[in-house]
Amino acid sequence: MASIRERTLRASRLDFTALEAGTGPLVLCLHGFPDTRHTYRGLIGDLADAGYRAVAPQLRGYEHASNPRTGDFYLESLAVDVAGWIEDLGEEKAHLVGHDWGAPIVYAAAALVPESVASVTAMSVPHLRHFRERVWRTPSQFKRSWYMAFFQLRGIAERAILSDRVGFIRRLMESWSPNQPPPESWFEEISEVFSDPVLTKNALGYYRCAFDWRQGPGRRSLELARRRPSVPVLSLVGAHDGCMAPDVFENVMEPSDFQQGLTHRRIPGAGHFLHLDQPELVASAILDFIKDR
């Protein structure tokens, strides 16, 4: 497998640590909650071996160097970060891969700078254009999404996570990836974030900004999230995802919304972290999709 190196990216006047491997067309891989850049070590190695330049940055606020200090974790700003990474890497275009929170971010980046995006691969979270109205038809999804409401409780949510280090997140993973929870090394990596009060607050800030859509950056972020994709899209969901029900995922994905086409796959034997549960299947699906694009 190709060697993986660390580098620093600069965007939005912030510094981001990233993992990088290989040379060739650029593939940017964005993690979600509760995760870090390390989740992509396997995938970026596979991408590099296949002839791509694969880069996995740490998202805004998941380390002190990229802490915006203003609490700005609006989707619009996260999409601006992606555009800045592409420019800082000296590339004109990138294939974007996003898991969990990374999924709405890559959709938003493609809406913001479509000329810089060759394709989007979104894992575990659907496009949000129809999400709010259609999820009302599936109350069972509210039970799965209880944590989003809990994270609005400022101070209380932070204490719940910090009081037992990653114990709270272990319990989340028991329901999100019921068949195959992440390996112990994964919990060790995320503990760097979720034992730090500032970084924990930042990670929860994504959910707090997502619910603030009435004006300004929140309203613009909602518009970006709902814009019809104008680049080719691959969507992947784990067949046993305990966070986002596969049926709900597929119900909110309207094929006619995807102007350059939608390819969708359920990944058998995978939960919410499908790229960890079934790395070979996920890597193969992505490589098949992005070749010749």
**What pLDDT, in 10s, does the model give residues 209-223?**
999 987 899 999 999
Q: What is the pLDDT of residue 214?
A: 79
Is residue 1 scored above 80 in pLDDT?
A: no
Q: Give bridge partners of residue 8 from the DSSP assignment.
A: 17
Q: What is the pLDDT of residue 91?
A: 98
Q: Which two tokens stand for residue 195?
A: 């034992």
CA angle (163, 165, 171) in 5-degree steps: 95
Secondary structure class of 109 (helix, strand, coil)? helix
Mean pLDDT of 36-43: 97
Residue 268 CB partners (closer than 8 Å, separation 6+): 239, 278, 281
Q: What is the mean pLDDT of the chain?
A: 95
Pair type for strands 262-267 and 233-238: parallel
Please state, in angstroms and rounded to a whole number, the distance separating the CA atoms of residues 238 and 235.
10
Q: What is the pLDDT of residue 142?
A: 80
CA angle (171, 172, 174) in 5-degree steps: 65
pTM: 0.97
Please state, in angstroms and rounded to a whole number, the distance separating the CA atoms of residues 101 and 264.
18
Please state, in angstroms and rounded to a whole number, the distance separating the CA atoms of residues 219 and 2.
42
| Chain-centre distance for alpha carbon 65 | 20
Q: What is the pLDDT of residues 85-119, one digit of tens each?
A: 999 999 999 999 999 999 999 999 999 999 999 99
Q: CB atoms < 10 A from the CB of 244, how many?
A: 21
Q: Nearest 5°: phi and psi at 85?
A: -65, -45
Q: What is the pLDDT of residues 129-166, one digit of tens each?
A: 998 777 767 778 888 989 999 999 999 999 999 998 78
Position 164, amino acid: D
Q: What is the pLDDT of residue 133?
A: 79
> For residues 22 and 52, is the Cβ–Cβ distance under 8 A?
yes
Burial 58-89 (b: 16+ CB within 10 A, else e): bbbbbbeebbbeeeebbbbbbbbbbbbbbebb
Q: What is the pLDDT of residues 240-291, one digit of tens each?
A: 999 999 999 999 999 999 999 999 999 999 999 999 999 999 999 999 999 9
Give percent of the chain with pLDDT exceeding 70.
Answer: 100
Burial 102-126 (b: 16+ CB within 10 A, else e): bbbbbbbbbbbbeebbbbbbbbbbb
